[in-house]
Amino acid sequence: MAQGVIVTCAVTGSHQNFHSHPDFPVTPEQIANSCLEARSAGAAVVHIHVRDPETGAASGDPALYREVVERIRDSGSDVLINLTTGEGGRYAPDETDPTQGGPGTTLRRPELRVRHVLEMRPDICSLDVGSANFGEHVFMNTPGHLRIMADAIRGAGVKPEMEVFELGHIRFASRLIEEGLIDEPPLFQICLGIPWAAPATPEVLTLMRNLLPQGAVWAAFGISRWEFPMLAQAVTLGGHVRVGLEDNLYLSKGEYASNATLVERAVRIIRALGAEPMEPARAAEVLKLSPTSRSASA
C-alpha cells in the first residue's frame, strides 16, 4: 500500500507582503472559497488565518473566523479545518522604552488567543510551542501562556498542531505531552526557513524529525523557494506536508500561484515519490480527531 500523506493548505497567513500578489484572499468569502478550491485540488486540511476585509491586515476578530468556518461548513465540504492561534504573539520593543511594546506589537492574553477555537470547535488548531526571532520582531509564546492555551484547547476537544521553529520548541512540546496537556498522538508541524529560526535544509529537517517523541504524527514545510524541496524531503522521511500562500506566493520565478495550484503541484510531487494524498476521513483517523470537533464540522 502506498504511503499516505496529509496535505495541508495554509491559505492566507498573517504576513504583510500580500500586496505583492494580484489575487490574494483577504475577505472571509475569498478565504473560504480558497479553502474549498484547495480541497478540490487534493488538500485534506486547510489552515486558516483571517484578515481585516478593509485593509488586509492580520486580524484576530472571532466574527471573521466564524464567517469563514460557517461558509466552509455550509458548503458541505469534508475538508478538515485548522484555525491558527498565532495572532496575538508578536512583540516589537518600543525604541525609547524596551519594557513596553512598540508599533507592531500584538500581544494578547492566552485566553483571547484561543477564544475563536473554543467557540468554533475546529478539527485542529495551531499551537506555537515557543518563542523565536521572527523577521525583525519576536514571536513570543511563554511556557505559562502555552500551558493555559493547551489546557483550553484540550478541554474543547480540538487537536493541537504544535508548530516548532527551533530545536528547543520540540523539547518544550515533549514536556507538555508529559504533563498531560497534549493527547496522543501528538501532532507536530516543523516550520523551516523563517528568518531567523531554523533553516530549510535536509539536515535540519532530519534532525528535528529525529527529536520528535515516539509515536508523533508530523508534517513539515519550508517557506518561499524552499516550499517544494522541503515537501519532497518530508515525504521521503515519512511525514506529511503543507503548502499555501501563507508560505509562498509563486509557482516559479515571476509566476504567481494560487492555493489550488500549489496543492496541485504538491499532489504531483507526492505521487511522483510513490505516495498518495490522504482523503480527509482517513486523515481524521490518523490524527485521532475528537468526535466533538468532528461533529461540529459536520
Q: For position 294, what pLDDT does the model report? A: 55
Helices 28-41 and 62-74 pack at an angle, to 10 degrees, of 40
Q: For position 2, what pLDDT does the model report? A: 81
Q: For position 287, what pLDDT does the model report? A: 97
Q: Which domains does the chain have, with CATH numbers?
A: 3-297 (3.20.20.70)
Q: For position 1, what pLDDT does the model report? A: 72
Q: What is the pTM of this model?
A: 0.96
- Cα separations (Å) of 26 from 41, 85, 241, 243? 20, 18, 24, 18
Q: For position 64, what pLDDT does the model report? A: 98
Q: For position 16, what pLDDT does the model report? A: 86
Residues 6+ apart with CB under 8 A from 251: 257, 261, 262, 265
**Nearest-angstrom CA–CA distance, 8 and 298:** 19
pLDDT along the chain (298 residues), means of 10: 93 91 96 98 98 95 98 98 96 95 95 98 98 93 98 98 98 98 97 96 98 97 97 98 98 96 98 98 95 57
Contact 241, 231 (CB under 8 A): yes
Q: For position 292, what pLDDT does the model report? A: 55
Q: Return the SS3 of 220.
A: strand
Q: For position 293, what pLDDT does the model report? A: 56
- Both ends of the chain: CA-CA distance in Å? 29
**Nearest-angstrom CA–CA distance, 177 and 170:** 11
**Nearest-angstrom CA–CA distance, 18 and 20:** 5
